[in-house]
Chain A
Amino acid sequence: MRIADTARAVLSAAARWGPDFEGSTRPAALLRLGLAGLVWTRFARSLCLFKCANPDHVVIAACFFVFTPLMTVGRFSRLATAGTGLTLLACYYHLGMALGHDGFVHHHTYLLASATLLLALTPCGRSLSWDRLAALRAEARGGPPAPPERGPLWGQRLIALQVSMVYLWGAWDKAISNPAFLSGDALEYSLHWIYLGSDSPTWRGLPQLSAAAARGTVLLEVALGAGLFFRSLRRWLIPAGLVFHAIIYYTLPVSTFSMTMALLYLAFLDPDAVHRALDRLVAGPSEARP
């Protein structure tokens, strides 16, 4: 009986953490705004009419330019977010894989598509959106009460899982599948390819630095992939992760990957704490003080 009770308690806790998770919708709204900006940064130019190579490209681009502005302003938010996510998948699989436009097939483009689709599983339009404004106006005119800025956030948990998978499988590849990584050799290849060409580095400490950076990267990725779920570790891991991604962005051609990962850290935070922080942020000095 004790085993059954324990199992029931574990399953109940897992359900509360995952599919039953609820909270403030403001972090989801911030994710919506941030992802919309990143999606535009990465895709918009490639989908302008003068870049379209065939009718499929034109249709997908039209969907992009309908859904992404709606996602940005938060009108028909979930539909627009789902439409944006599906459009990005069409870019990745159809334009990229099937039609051979290689620029669409990257890990950072897939991550944007995946995170956007998962965000559509949350009520990401209940906060900081035109939808919210319209609901408040309707309420003021005597209509139905605006929905509370709370809702089911299991999609946000899935985004957190996606981020964790990126880190943990990335670490697996570096530590297990790539024999040249932990020695630092693979990092040296990249440095040669981007900066040095085939010349010898003038600084003799580069191999040692590369080896240390490689091992540190794997350790940090494992720590981030597993540790971001724990509140007590987040205060250390989030700054470490932000610095890590800033260094990657500055030194390697990673496009939107760094900013996307940094933005998706929002999915790990306590939504109600984010809500309160935004309240404090927009409140005047006298209101913010107790």
Chain B
Amino acid sequence: MQGPIGVARWLRYGAFITVSAFLFAGPLYRQVLGGEDKRVRSWVMFHGHGRGICEVRYLSPGQGGELTPLNRYALLGYGERERAPRSVQRLRSLEEAERLGRRLCAALPAGDREVRLEARCGEREGWRVVAEAERDLCDQAPTLGARSPL
């Protein structure tokens, strides 16, 4: 009787140690040793979520000449953010932000066409400032009109 009981117990010990080691070693392989086999699960949650998003402000000279923020949703005819397409809500690179800025130029009255961009984008190391309102985007504005919201 002792034999089979002993074997079952040792099998259980072996299974417990094996599974415990797997639970520990899988993430160790992916997260510390740099393993790339995605069949092994790492416990990395929301690691790169939202990375690449840019926080932007479009500025234009007010009546006194000081730079004041523009409401890009109103200018492009969407009214508010929730009504704008994602491509207008979420800008994911300096290029996208500048392209939208040039659309704002076209939406401004002809004599007031000056749009400057302040932007920082989310990178692996943290926020990085990519534009500090140093350029007037309307200098390079295309002649196309603003996109109609209708």
Q: Which residues of A contact B (CB under 8 A)?
A: 15, 18-20, 93, 97, 107, 110, 114, 118, 121, 152, 154, 157-158, 161-162, 165-166, 169-170, 172-173, 177-180, 183, 185-186, 188-194, 196-200, 252, 254, 257
- Which residues of the partner chain A approach B41 to less than 8 Å between Cβ atoms? 107, 110, 114
- Chain B, 53-89, contact with A by CB distance < 8 Å: what is the 0/1 string? 1111100000000000000000000000100000001
Shortest distance from the beta carbon of B130 to any chain A beta carbon, whole Å: 12
Contact at A190–B45, with CB atoms within 8 Å?
A: no
Known contacts A173-B44, A185-B122, A190-B46; is A197 also within 8 Å of B23 by CB?
A: no
Partner of A198, one of B12, B45, B54, B127: B54
Contact at B51–A189, with CB atoms within 8 Å?
A: yes
Contact at A192–B53, with CB atoms within 8 Å?
A: yes
Contact at A177–B127, with CB atoms within 8 Å?
A: no
Contact at B55–A173, with CB atoms within 8 Å?
A: no
Max count, chain B CB within 10 A of own CB: residue among A15, A93, A154, A189: A189
- Which residues of the partner chain B approach A257 to less than 8 Å between Cβ atoms? 45
24 contacts between A and B (CB under 8 A): A19-B12, A19-B15, A107-B45, A114-B41, A154-B12, A158-B19, A161-B23, A161-B24, A165-B24, A165-B43, A169-B44, A170-B44, A177-B31, A178-B47, A179-B124, A180-B123, A186-B46, A188-B122, A189-B53, A189-B122, A190-B46, A192-B50, A197-B89, A199-B55
Contact at A169–B27, with CB atoms within 8 Å?
A: yes
- Which residues of the partner chain B approach A15 to less than 8 Å between Cβ atoms? 13
Max count, chain A CB within 10 A of own CB: residue among B23, B27, B31, B44: B23
Q: In the complex the two chains form, what is the Cα distance from A18 to B15 in whole Å?
A: 11
Partner of A169, one of B31, B56, B81, B124: B31
Contact at B23–A165, with CB atoms within 8 Å?
A: yes
Shortest distance from the beta carbon of A249 to any chain B beta carbon, whole Å: 13
Q: Which residues of B contact A (CB under 8 A)?
A: 9, 12-13, 15-17, 19-20, 23-24, 27, 31-32, 38-39, 41-47, 49-57, 81, 89-91, 97, 122-127
- Chain A interface mostly helix, strand, loop or mixed? helix
Q: Which 4 pairs of residues, A with B, have the shortest CB-CB distance?
A: A189-B50, A193-B50, A197-B89, A169-B43
A161-B24, A169-B27 known; 18 other A-B pairs, CB under 8 Å? A19-B12, A19-B15, A19-B17, A107-B43, A107-B44, A154-B16, A172-B31, A173-B42, A177-B31, A179-B125, A183-B126, A185-B126, A185-B127, A189-B52, A193-B50, A198-B89, A199-B55, A252-B46
Q: In the complex the two chains form, what is the Cα distance from A1 to B50 in whole Å?
A: 58
Contact at B97–A162, with CB atoms within 8 Å?
A: no
- Which residues of the partner chain A approach B32 to less than 8 Å between Cβ atoms? 172
- Which residues of the partner chain B approach A173 to less than 8 Å between Cβ atoms? 31, 42-45, 47
- Which residues of the partner chain A approach B43 to less than 8 Å between Cβ atoms? 107, 165-166, 169-170, 173
Partner of B50, one of A158, A194, A200: A194
Q: In the complex the two chains form, what is the Cα distance from A186 to B17 in whole Å?
A: 36
Partner of A189, one of B38, B39, B49, B81: B49
Closest to B81 in A: A197
- Which residues of the partner chain B approach A114 to less than 8 Å between Cβ atoms? 41
Q: In the complex the two chains form, what is the Cα distance from A157 to B15 in whole Å?
A: 12
Q: In the complex the two chains form, what is the Cα distance from A64 to B55 in whole Å?
A: 44
Contact at A180–B124, with CB atoms within 8 Å?
A: yes
Shortest distance from the beta carbon of B118 to any chain A beta carbon, whole Å: 9
Known contacts A107-B41, A170-B43, A192-B122; is A198 also within 8 Å of B19 by CB?
A: no
Closest to B82 in A: A197
Known contacts A19-B13, A158-B20, A186-B51; is A198 also within 8 Å of B31 by CB?
A: no
Q: In the complex the two chains form, what is the Cα distance from A180 to B50 in whole Å?
A: 12
Q: In the complex the two chains form, what is the Cα distance from A245 to B19 in whole Å?
A: 26
Q: In the complex the two chains form, what is the Cα distance from A200 to B56 in whole Å?
A: 7
Closest to A158 in B: B19
